[in-house]
Amino acid sequence: MKIQCKNCLSMEAIEIPDFSQSEKQLLSELTFKSRIQSVKYIIENYNLNTIPNTNKIFMKSLVTTFFLLFASVTCFSQSIDFENKYNTLMENLESENWVKSEQFCKDLLKYAESVDSMQTEKRVLRYIYIYSNAGLLNERKITKEEALKRTKYLRGEEMIMPAHPFNSNCYTNCIHITEEDNNTFFSGVNNSTATQIFSFEYVKIEKGIKESKNELEGKLITLKGTLNEISVEGNMLPRFKLKFINGDYKVE
């Protein structure tokens, strides 16, 4: 399967291997232990094309990281139709086709919510649904009121967010610790070209952040938590404001 981003990879596509169920199981176990090691494993063992441009290297890493999160999900999915739709969702996310990604995510989430064994799938899809609506909001395809109406039912639900690098002086697709609370992470989430603001996210870590800022600098942080507050703010740059409680984090 090929993934092509209209903004960053307009002249080429990244080839994602067609993994077997046993390979997905292995990747899921690797991802649970270390997402970085999973990225290295895929690049080294599946002959992903080398991209010389620095920006393209970053995009390739981002796509691979997203895929690893998805691979851990589809590995346990018992429905072939679910998996095929999930792959299509991923393609539309990477090409930033927000209309289709919102539609596919909505259908997949409706299915997953009724299946007890799909706890990870639910947490990932809930976040993707908000993310897709943030894309629609920024393209003025839905209003602030409609964006909130579509997503406010997710308050009180657990979610898993994609990994972002820790950077104390960054607000674009990165994570840092808030000045107000040393046990709360802040994420500024944007589109792939950082020209649109999708959300400001705050995750209160239940057991506290153990590392110092210096120890976290440059590391990848994966966050999860329970959505406690959701709102839409801003006029020229409309965006979601998400506040999570009972948070947890993983450093790589």
Query: Any idea what DSSP says for residue 181?
Result: -
The whole-chain average pLDDT of the chain stands at: 80
As beta bridge partners, residue 158 has 226
Burial of 25 (0-12, 13-18, 19+ CB in 10 A): middle
User: How far apart are the C-alpha atoms of 95 and 104, rounded to whole Å?
Assistant: 14
220 touches 163 (CB < 8 A): yes
Query: Any idea what DSSP says for residue 142?
Result: S
pTM of the model: 0.75
Q: In the chain, where are the structural domains located?
A: 1-75, 155-251
Q: How confident is the model at residue 173 (pLDDT cuts 50, 70, 90)?
A: confident
Q: How far is CA 143 from the centre of its chain?
A: 23
pLDDT of residue 72: 52
pLDDT digits (tens, 9 = 90+) for 23-75: 666 666 555 555 555 655 665 666 554 444 433 433 444 445 455 555 555 55
Give 155-251's CATH code, choosing from 1.10.15, 2.60.40, 1.20.120, 2.40.50: 2.40.50
Q: How confident is the model at residue 192 (pLDDT cuts 50, 70, 90)?
A: confident
pLDDT digits (tens, 9 = 90+) for 202-228: 999 999 999 999 999 999 899 999 999
What is the number of other CB atoms lying within 10 angstroms of the CB of residue 233? 11
pLDDT of residue 226: 98
CA distances from 38 to 1, 63, 65, 83 (A): 18, 13, 8, 20
| Rounded mean pLDDT, 171-175 | 88
What is the number of other CB atoms lying within 10 angstroms of the CB of residue 214? 8
What is the number of other CB atoms lying within 10 angstroms of the CB of residue 195? 10
The amino acid that residue 140 corresponds to is R
pLDDT digits (tens, 9 = 90+) for 92-150: 988 899 999 999 999 999 999 998 888 888 999 999 999 999 999 999 999 999 999 99
User: How far apart are the C-alpha atoms of 251 and 104, rounded to whole Å?
Assistant: 30
- The tokens 């020229």 sit on which residue? 236
As beta bridge partners, residue 12 has none
